[in-house]
Amino acid sequence: GKTPNPVGLNGRHPRRHLQPASAPAAPMPPPAPRRSSFPVAAALLAAALLILAAGAVAVADDGRTLLEIKKSFRDADNALRDWSGDGASPGYCSWLGVLCDNVTFQVAALNLSGFNLGGEISPAIGDLKSVVSIDFQSSGLSGQIPDEIGDCWSLKMLNLSSNNLEGDIPFSISKLKHLENLILKNNQLVGVIPSTLSQLPNLKILDLAQNKLSGEIPRLIYWSEVLQYLGLRSNKLEGSLSPDMCQLTGLWYFDVKNNSLMGTIPDTIGNCTSFQVLDLSYNHLTGEIPFNIGFLQVATLSLQRNNFSGPIPTVIGLMQALAVLDLSLNQLSGPIPSILGNLTYTEKLYLQGNKLSGPIPPELGNLSALNYLDLNDNKLTGLIPPELGKLTALYDLNLANNELEGTIPDNISSCTSLVSFNAYGNKLNGTIPRSLHKLQSMTYLNLSSNYLNGAIPTELARMINLDVLGFIM
């Protein structure tokens, strides 16, 4: 089993370093001729010539293949000007973006990322039998991904991201048994995710985000112990989350944000124990957040802008690795569980835009790593707890549009990192604490639509950084 990496205090998710693609082994020499009627010396000579010829042919082919591939690029900037001549061996090995195996002189890697090539990917690409890595990221390519890509049988890494590729994901990709990284994100691909991608036994990274893929996520995709990264964000995927998703026992990154998924979070979610990032935001998911979610040790849990209802399960307070908890813009009701104050590594707590009621638990003052606390647009009542003054790392405190009452506690002035404080639209009374002027980083203060009275403290008026003073009471 794999243990999830601990979350750094800086809240970034741990990066996985992938093995660099290694050069393929040298091909087998052709079998020696069996004609026994030849004299031995002649036979040996013939064999030697055959070997030479075979090597020369393979080498010359890759050079000619590259010239053929070049023909379908527009290459308006003439970036590939050194891709010229007859493509004889081994000259093409020094062409821009070409890396050869230094024994066989076959093309091992092709990296044309970032060149303004334009045009299309030639079907001739399928003749590069030894290529291990193809990187055409951000190369201005359009047209379809040719089926022949499935003939590059040594391929471990294919990165075609950030182009204008259209059409379907070719089923032939499922023939690439060595493929580890398939990065097609940020194109115009349509159609379904081929379920045959589940036949890729070594696939570690599958990133299809920001395309126009539709249909359901094929359940077979989830049956992999090898897959580490599943990026499907911003497509048009439908259907529901499958209970099978937790068969991904080696996965750390699961992102289906911004699709059209419906239904509930499966109860099996508690078995997704390797997940570190779970982003289900911007879908049409419903039902309650299942109790079993408390078994996860994710660093990021984002359920933002769905239609989840019911209470915030208290088990979320046991998810000690949480750095980002975003439950905003749902229909959640009931109180904010005080046990959330136990999330000592949490930097971002977003609960805004729900129907949460009851008081703000003073325990939230224990969230010592907190940078963002957004509780606005709920039905919270009671006082602003002075314990929030313990949040010395807090940049942003948004309590707007609730039913909070009483005075603004002096202790807020202990939130020394505070940049933005919004308490608009509550029932706060009393005067604005003079001590707020100690918050020298603050650039946004919005206290309008309350019952505050008295003058604006002159200390506050002198704060040079303050952009907005919403004191229309």
Ligand X SMILES: *[C@@H]1O[C@H](CO)[C@@H](O)[C@H](O)[C@H]1NC(C)=O
Q: In the complex, which residues of this chain contact ligand X (CB under 6 A)?
A: 102-103, 111, 113-114, 133, 135, 137, 157, 159, 181, 183, 205, 234, 258, 267-268, 270-271, 282, 286, 292, 295, 307, 309, 331, 339, 341-342, 362-363, 365-366, 386-387, 389-390, 400-401, 405-406, 411, 414, 422, 424, 429-430, 446, 448, 468, 470
For residues 464 and 437, the answer to whether their CB atoms sit within 8 Å is no
- Minimum distance from residue 193 beta carbon to ligand X (Å): 15
- Minimum distance from residue 305 beta carbon to ligand X (Å): 8
List beta partners, residue 307.
Answer: 286
CB of 45 or CB of 434, closer to ligand X: 434
CB of 43 or CB of 426, closer to ligand X: 426
- Minimum distance from residue 56 beta carbon to ligand X (Å): 19
- Minimum distance from residue 62 beta carbon to ligand X (Å): 16
Which of 221, 215, 220, 274 is CA-nearest to residue 240? 215
CB of 174 or CB of 411, closer to ligand X: 411
User: Would you state the structure tokens that stand for residue 22, as one six-digit string?
Assistant: 């290694």
CB of 47 or CB of 362, closer to ligand X: 362
Angle value at C-alpha 427, between 421 and 431, nearest 5 degrees: 70
CB of 9 or CB of 45, closer to ligand X: 9
Residue nearest to ligand X (CB): 270
- Minimum distance from residue 449 beta carbon to ligand X (Å): 8
- Minimum distance from residue 36 beta carbon to ligand X (Å): 36
Angle value at C-alpha 410, between 378 and 462, nearest 5 degrees: 100
- Minimum distance from residue 160 beta carbon to ligand X (Å): 9
CB of 64 or CB of 167, closer to ligand X: 167
CA atoms within 13 A on the CB side of 6: 3
- Minimum distance from residue 254 beta carbon to ligand X (Å): 16
Handedness of CA 429, 366, 438, 441 (dihedral sign): negative
- What does the alpha-carbon distance between residue 244 and residue 251 come to, in Å, rounded to a whole number? 13
- What does the alpha-carbon distance between residue 113 and residue 95 come to, in Å, rounded to a whole number? 14
CB of 122 or CB of 376, closer to ligand X: 376
- Minimum distance from residue 342 beta carbon to ligand X (Å): 4
In the DSSP assignment, the letter for residue 6 is P
CB of 47 or CB of 357, closer to ligand X: 357
- Minimum distance from residue 38 beta carbon to ligand X (Å): 34
CB of 221 or CB of 412, closer to ligand X: 412
- What does the alpha-carbon distance between residue 443 and residue 432 come to, in Å, rounded to a whole number? 16
- What does the alpha-carbon distance between residue 399 and residue 34 come to, in Å, rounded to a whole number? 86
CB of 140 or CB of 389, closer to ligand X: 389
Q: Which residues contact 309 (CB under 8 A, 6 or more apart)?
A: 286, 287, 288, 330, 331, 332, 333
CB of 196 or CB of 286, closer to ligand X: 286
- What does the alpha-carbon distance between residue 286 and residue 273 come to, in Å, rounded to a whole number? 22
- Minimum distance from residue 409 beta carbon to ligand X (Å): 7
CB of 50 or CB of 262, closer to ligand X: 262
**Residue type for position 239:** G
- What does the alpha-carbon distance between residue 412 and residue 399 come to, in Å, rounded to a whole number? 13
CB-neighbour burial class of residue 458 (10 A; exposed 0-12, middle 13-18, buried 19+): exposed
Residue-wise DSSP of 135-191: E-TTS---SBPPGGGGG-TT--EEE--SS--EEPPPGGGGG-TT--EEE--SSEE-S
- What does the alpha-carbon distance between residue 348 and residue 44 come to, in Å, rounded to a whole number? 73
For residue 272, what is the enclosing H or E element?
none
User: Would you state the structure tokens that stand for residue 320, as one six-digit string?
Assistant: 């000690």
- What does the alpha-carbon distance between residue 181 and residue 103 come to, in Å, rounded to a whole number? 25
Hey, how many other C-beta atoms are within 10 angstroms of the C-beta on 313? Answer: 17
- Minimum distance from residue 32 beta carbon to ligand X (Å): 24
